[in-house]
Amino acid sequence: MRHSQHRRGQGVAGAALKRVVLGAGACLGIVLGGFGPSGLTVPAAHAFCSDGRVMGGCVTSIETFPWQVSLFRTGGSNRVQAHFCGGTVVAPGWVLTAAHCVEEFVPTDPSPMAVFFGSTSLEEGGQVVDVQTIYTHPDYLGVGADDIALLELRTPISAPTVALVSAENADRFEERGTEAVIAGWGNAPGALVLSGTVGGKGPERAEETVEVFGTSPVLLAAEVPLVRAARCDERGNDEVLCAGFRREQVDACAGDSGGPLLIRDGDQFIQAGIVSGGTLCVDEGDRFTTYTRVSAYEDWIAATLAGETEPVDPRRLPDFSLPATFADTDLIAGFQPDPQRIDLQAGGNLRASDALSGCAGFVADAPDVRITYEAGDIGMLRFAVEGDADTTLLINQPDGSWHCNDDRADGDLNPELVFEGPLGGQYDIWVGTFESPDALGAFPEATLLVTERR
């Protein structure tokens, strides 16, 4: 999850919420207990089953939730694998989703993503439309912190639109204990049967059933009650809703972010929330999920649909104009001792991929180390990291270009970058961690090595 720009510490959202994002690769567990193949009988609207096949929910139909859409990456081999978040159609050319789902994309050029709509199954039917512009709330900071975005589609679509809870009728629909409905194609558990030879000899074979999680190829839905917001947010933030159970295995899961939290309004549904973040749905324990409270953003939604807001870029780039945190030193070609060794703490709250697409891991906002290098006849300058954690290395070299490495070629989890015929000038260096600081719970110790040796 992303947080505000706090150096070497949790951001505001992480410190208060202690939640994990559920999109772009996070857990509707609608943890329902299993996949439902496309051929299963589709239940009537509101008849959410609990028959042991799918715990606390069931396979549903796009006819029940006709405004539901899938956000997917256009470079994937198929839509099931490429799906990363959900959303809802709120106007013919607009989709409502969570900001954390789309924060990695350039707001004015979101071509690596598209919207799929009009089908219960991700594998067949339906239609695809491109996204023209992403409008992220300007105050977005992470889960439970203005986690809302609107996608302007390249062309209007024919899917019905969902009604939204307004500030005027919020008290009617947001009362604690109200049964809400969640729907999406997010991760759900399935069974994988593994076969092997007993003891490694003879014809006898054994089978083991392993539970695995993966994107549901069909739309799932389940009911969850609204609970006190403090169960999800200890600050009592009035811009979030909280729903879920203490022990029931029903929850939103990875890939459900951006999807709706719906309340029944007679024989219709009205959207009260947007899936933002929650506990890891594969784990035991409480299953409460944080939802962005739609009614709190009525004015911003209306202004954006009316063309009165500007797209903002939520990506937070590492800033080489800031002072280096651990070392700022000058080196001349042929320096001694070689290697130079600089101890530091790895990691930060920014995604390295925001600086360079495909770069794995999390880095700090300011450089960890700055090296001003006076080039000479030396043909190579190498930067490497030593440490017990899985680290990543991001460098902005003197010509302004970004370079990144996650693992060395020999399989070592420590990274290195080699510059042949190195440029003279300023090298700004970030040592990141593959996992986020929230997942690690700390900023691990590491050592940066700078050497002219091969």
As a whole number of angstroms, the distance between CA 281 and CA 60 comes to 20
As a whole number of angstroms, the distance between CA 119 and CA 61 comes to 8
Instruction: Count other Cβ atoms within 10 Å, centred on residue 75.
Output: 8
**Residue 322 in 3-state DSSP?**
coil
Beta bridge partners of 273: 293
Q: Of the candidates 283, 122, 279, 70, which has an alpha carbon nearest to the alpha carbon of residue 189?
A: 283
Is 61 designated active site? no
Spatial CB neighbours of 349, under 8 Å, sequence gap ≥ 6 = 2, 3, 5, 6, 10, 11, 14, 316, 362, 364, 365, 436, 437
CB contact burial 324-358 (16+ within 10 A = b; e otherwise): bbbbeeebeeebeeebbebebbbbbbbbbbbbbee
Q: Catalytic one among 257, 276, 295, 436?
A: 257
Q: Of the candidates 251, 275, 259, which has an alpha carbon nearest to the alpha carbon of residue 143?
A: 275
Is 46 designated active site? no
Q: Which two tokens stand for residue 291?
A: 């939802």
Q: Catalytic one among 147, 251, 256, 438?
A: 147
Is 100 designated active site? yes
Spatial CB neighbours of 235, under 8 Å, sequence gap ≥ 6 = 16
**Residue 200 in 3-state DSSP?**
helix
Q: Which two tokens stand for residue 16?
A: 């208060």
Q: Counting beta carbons within 10 angstroms of the beta carbon of residue 225, is it exposed (0 to 12), middle (13 to 18) or buried (19 or more)?
A: middle
As a whole number of angstroms, the distance between CA 67 and CA 161 comes to 5
DSSP string, 47-106: ----SSSSTTEEE--TTTSTTEEEEEETTSSSHHHHEEEEEEEEETTEEEE-HHHHTTSB
Q: Catalytic one among 70, 100, 233, 368?
A: 100
DSSP string, 326-347: SEEEEEETT-SSSSEEEEEE--
As a whole number of angstroms, the distance between CA 231 and CA 235 comes to 10
Q: Of the candidates 419, 450, 422, 420, which has an alpha carbon nearest to the alpha carbon of residue 336?
A: 450
| Enzyme catalytic residues | 100, 147, 257
